[in-house]
Amino acid sequence: MPAVTSAGVHPRILIVTHSYYEEDPRLRRQGEALAAAGWEVDVVALRKPGSKARERIEGVDVHRVDVQRHQGAGLGTYIVEYAAFFVRAGIAAVRLHARRRYEVAQVATLPDPLVFALAPLRLDGVPIVLDLHEAMPEFFRSRFPAASRGAVRAALLAAERVSIAFASHVLTVNDALRERLEALGVPGGRVTVILNSPRTDRFDPTAHPRRRFMEDGCLRLVYAGALTPLYQLDVVLEAVALLAHGVDEGEVIASPAIPIDVTLDLYGRGDAESMLRALAAELGIAERIRFHGRIPVEEVAGRIADADVGLAPTRRDAFTDFSLSTKIFEYAAMGKPVIASRLPTVERYFGPDALRYFAPGNAGSLATAVRDLVADPPGREAAVAAAGERVRELSWEREAARYVGLLESLAAR
C-alpha cells in the first residue's frame, strides 16, 4: 500500500549525493524503492555536460547542480569540487524544502561533511540520514597516502565523527563498516546496514539469451566498474597475457601451460584507461582487450550475460578491507562464476565455496584461478549455484523493505 502521512499526503524525501544519480546504482535502487512505496523523491546531484538541469527517472525527480566530477584529479581539485557542490547543493536543498516540506532528508557520502549542507533542514526539524558508502578517512589514505597523515588524518576522523553526530541516523553498506563505526563509539542503535545488493528484476538471467560457458571456444572475461588504480586492472591484463601466451607465472623459466583463447570486456571509465591501453599493447594483447566506456545501469546485466566469468580485482589495503564489491553481486545474480580478490569482507559474505579467489596484485594467482575454473566444470557450477543462493538471501528486495521501513519510522517521528 502506498505510504501516506498523517495528513493524508505522500511523504517527501530529499536525497543529496555527490555523484551522477543516473550512474549510481545504490542511489538508483533507493530512489526507485521509495517511489514504488509511494514516496515523492527529490534528488540533488552532480550534472554531467549535456545533462538536463532537471529530469524525472523512474519516478524520481533529479535536480542537477552545475558541478562535475574530476575522477583521478589531485587533492586540491577535489577540495574545490566538494566545496562548490556543498554550497550549491545546500542552496538547492533550502529552496526545495521551502516548496516541498520534506519529512526526511538523506545525504550520500563521500564526503561525510556534506551532511552539514542540510543544516537548515535539520534546524527545521527534518530528520537527516547519513548514508556512509565508504569509510572516508580510509578512502583518503588509500587515494592520497602522502597527504593523509598526522593532523590531516586526525581532521578526517574528526570530520567523520561530527558528521555522524549531526545526523539523526546512519546507514552503511556492510557489517564490517558497521563494526568499524561501533568501535569508534557510534551506538549500534544509530547504525543500519543496507547492503549494495542488486535488484533481481534488473539482474535477471532469464531476461537475456543464455551463453554456455566458452560455447564458441573463447573465454570471455568481463569487468564492469571504474577504471582506476584501486581496481587492479593492470594485474588483470598481465593475467590475460599469461593465459593467452600459455605461461604460468610470467617468468622465462616458468613451466608451459596450454594457451587459452581469452578476451576481456571493460565497461567503465576512469583515469587509468590510457595506462591500460598502453599496457595491453606492450603485452601484445591489445586485440583481446575491449574498452566500451561507461554504459547505462540498465544495460549492465545484458553485457554480463554475454560473458563467461566476472572479475572483481580489488587492491588490498586498509580501505578495501571494508569493501564488498557490488560487481560480485551482479555477476552472481546473472549466473556467472566470479573470480575476486581475497578480501576479508568479501570472504565474510560469500565464504570459501561461492567464489574463486586470487591474491590481490598477483597476476599469476589470477591466471591460475582462471585456469582452475576452466578445468573444473562441476566445481564451477557448484560455485555459481552457491553464489546465486547467497545473492537471493541478500536480495535488494529484502534490503529495500528494511530501508523504506526505516525512513517511514523516521518520518513518523
3 within domain boundaries:
no
190 with 273, same domain?
no
Domain around 65: 12-197+396-412
Within 13 Å and on the Cβ side, how many CA atoms surround 330?
25
Instruction: Report the distance separating Cα 165 and Cα 237, nearest Å.
Output: 44
Query: CATH number, domain at 58?
Result: 3.40.50.2000
367 with 400, same domain?
no
DSSP 248: S
187 with 312, same domain?
no
Q: Would you write out the chain's pLDDT as a tens digit for each of its 413 residues?
A: 445 554 556 899 999 999 999 999 999 999 999 999 999 999 999 999 999 999 999 999 999 999 988 766 677 788 899 999 999 999 999 999 999 999 999 999 989 999 999 999 999 999 999 999 988 889 888 888 877 778 888 999 999 999 999 999 999 999 999 999 999 999 989 999 999 999 988 999 999 999 999 999 999 999 999 999 999 999 999 999 999 998 765 443 345 678 999 999 999 999 899 999 999 999 999 999 999 999 998 999 999 999 999 999 999 998 999 999 999 999 999 999 999 999 999 999 999 999 999 999 999 999 999 999 999 999 999 999 999 999 999 999 999 999 999 999 999 87
Cβ-defined contacts of 253-259 (< 8 Å, 24+): 257/371
Pick from 115, 100, 126: which is nearest to 12 by CA? 100
Beginning with the edge strand found earlier in the chain, give each strand of the sheet holding 338-341 in spatial order.
Answer: 289-291, 262-267, 219-224, 309-312, 338-341, 356-358
167 with 237, same domain?
no
190 with 325, same domain?
no
Calculate the CA 251 to chain-centre distance. 35
Q: How many domains does the chain have?
A: 2
329 with 305, same domain?
yes
148 with 220, same domain?
no
Rg of the chain over Cα atoms, rounded to whole angstroms, equals 22
- Burial status of residue 287 (CB atoms within 10 A of its CB: 0-12, 13-18, 19 or more): exposed
230 with 373, same domain?
yes
